[in-house]
A and B are shown apart, each in its own frame.
Chain A
Amino acid sequence: MAKEIYVPPKQSAFGQLFDSLFLLGLVLVALFAPLFLKLAGGGKIDIPVQDKSTWEGLGQTAQQAAQWVKLGFTPESASSIITSRFDYSFNPVELAVTILVIVGYFALLFAFSRSEYREVIDERFGRRSEQ
């Protein structure tokens, strides 16, 4: 018995253009949305310092201050960099949702791939019952 060969439909030029634009649009929407919605970059906080107008007040030693000056900074222009810190506190529910999304994505990926792969193997090697 001959192997069953799947013959895919021919895609029109318009269909090809639509698929290309769909992917391009999906990339831009999904990846730019956090940037446009100002949700990107996570939480940053400013730590309190004694005095933002002096290197000593910003907690910088003489050697550190000398390097800031060589890089073209004054205490005022460097203060926002020196006082900025990441805020690593997080909501456990957010973490659980993130884990669920990642695990769910890979589960979906492997489940769908498995069914598609079976079709590939059946066509390449023939169905088990045909051998």
Chain B
Amino acid sequence: MTQTTAIHGEKISLLRVLGPAHVWALGVGIVLVGEFMGWNFAVGKGGAVAALIACWVAGLLYTCVAMIDSEVTSTVAAAGGQYAQAKHIVGPLMAFNVGLYLVFAYTMLEAANAITLGYLVQTVGTMAGFADVHDKPFIVLTIMFLAWLNYRGVYATLTLNLVLTAIAFSAVVILFAATKPWTHDMLNHQAFLNGLPYGWVGVIASLHFGLWYYLGIEGTCQAAEEVRSPARSLPLGTMTGMITLLIAATMTWYVCSGLMPWEYLGQATTPLFDAARLTGSAPLMVLLFVGTVFSTLASANGCINDASRAWFSMGRDRYLPTWFGAVHPKNRTPYRSIVFLVPVAVIFAYFAPLDQVITFSILSGLLGYTYMSLNVMIFRRKWPLNTIRRGYIHPFHPLPALVLLFLCSVTYFAVFLGYGTQLIAMMIFFAVASLWFHFHRYKYVRRGDQFTMQWPRPAGY
């Protein structure tokens, strides 16, 4: 089903032009930057070994997310992804919150990308003798340029992402091979690994940033309305994306932890570029500079795409002012949503430190995963198996949901360790926004229009 919006009395829909490769590029393109920056803050919270354990545990969390999401997305394939699912399965307020989780997870990730790119340009500028180079103009320019690109059209945007992501992934593989991991010529883990400096509490704490290895992979289903064959392309693109990220995360950890002291790695802004610097190879430095720039651009590009579509969907459903639910008459993009989110990204990228911005993004994602674990149990209860046609049925239900809920609870505690104030601030924001929606905004929402799937009445209603 292609949903439409009215512009000047004319029905205009988003274009169905994307294939599995675009879905892979959208998912991996958003997340691959997590190998170039951010994951290493897990080293700072618990040490390098703790970060590796966090990488595996987060991998288990995201496997549960992928299993659950594959079932629900293959059954509710509509723009907005998890947002559309919440509308049909839990209710409008939940959908409003899920929409906000998506928007903030991606907008904060976009801001983090811009910060990294600005920092990298400043670092390389300083190395090249331009000591007065400032990162701020590059931060603003990056966001503005990518917003303009998204404004112009989704096909060109995600085709560009495909190229950028492929080059960035190649840079990780080439760096890994160039450090000769089968010898001790460059990598010396014995010299740099120091066990668990914080003990096992550090392992739990590092799970906070462990999510950064994969955060955003679930964004593949945001493009459901623009994919030619959602039932085939979405699971294929998501699963190949997860495999790509697992490989990249392992290689990244191995190279970085064998090249630099954990204290430096735990706070570095561009760890893979620093790894290339430590090899002493100028071509590798250039390659990882290009890889980092491309990964940040691809990620920010995908983030603008996903965040604007979630905001657009909420506008179209009147959860937000309907003004946001417009599609550009020529470019067929949600242009007003794209433009509105630009200042949010710019303000956070300009004024907030990288680890704080990443924490806001992770928290938004974490709230979304908590919702997913509860959502799938409600989904199975309201529509038991064989009552509706599912594209995919995930095995061992409800084990993945329970594991996901448990891992989410542990991750809340991990964020509490060191970033408790942000956790409370974020929860207060969502609580106030929920009250605003329920007592004010909901009166503008057409009730019956929130349920568009051709399903039977849910059990218990």
The interface of chain A, by Cβ under 8 A from chain B, is 3, 5-6, 8-9, 11, 15-17, 19-20, 22-24, 26-28, 30-35, 39-43, 60-61, 63-64, 67-68, 70-71, 73, 78, 81-82, 84-86, 88, 90, 94-95, 97-98, 101-102, 104-106, 108-110, 112-125
Contacts and interface: CB of A to CB of B under 8 A. Distances in A.
A90 B261 contact: no
B94 A95 contact: no
Task: Give the top 9 A-B pairs by smallest Cβ distance, nearest first.
Answer: A113-B91, A117-B91, A30-B429, A16-B321, A123-B448, A42-B418, A63-B191, A123-B447, A113-B94
B4 interface: no
B349 to A, nearest CB: 13
B452 to A, nearest CB: 9
Interface in B91-134: 91-94, 97, 104
B384 interface: no
A32 B357 CA distance: 10
B388 interface: no
A40 B444 contact: no
A34 B92 CA distance: 30
Interface of B: 44-45, 90-94, 97, 104, 188, 191-192, 197-198, 201-202, 205, 259-261, 263-264, 267, 274, 277-278, 280, 318, 320-324, 340, 343-344, 347-348, 351-353, 355-356, 360, 370, 374, 412-413, 416-434, 436, 438, 441-448, 450-451, 457-458, 461
B360 A120 contact: no
Given A23-B320, A61-B191, A71-B278, 6 more contacts: A20-B323, A22-B436, A108-B431, A108-B434, A116-B92, A123-B448
A64 B441 CA distance: 57
A121 to B, nearest CB: 5
Contacts of B259: 67
A23 B341 CA distance: 11
A84 B353 CA distance: 17
Given A8-B318, A88-B205, A124-B451, A34 B90 contact: no
B198 A86 contact: yes
A121 B461 contact: yes
Contacts of A124: 447-448, 450-451
B90 A26 contact: no
Nearest to A73: B264
A118 B461 contact: yes
Contacts of A90: 416-417, 420
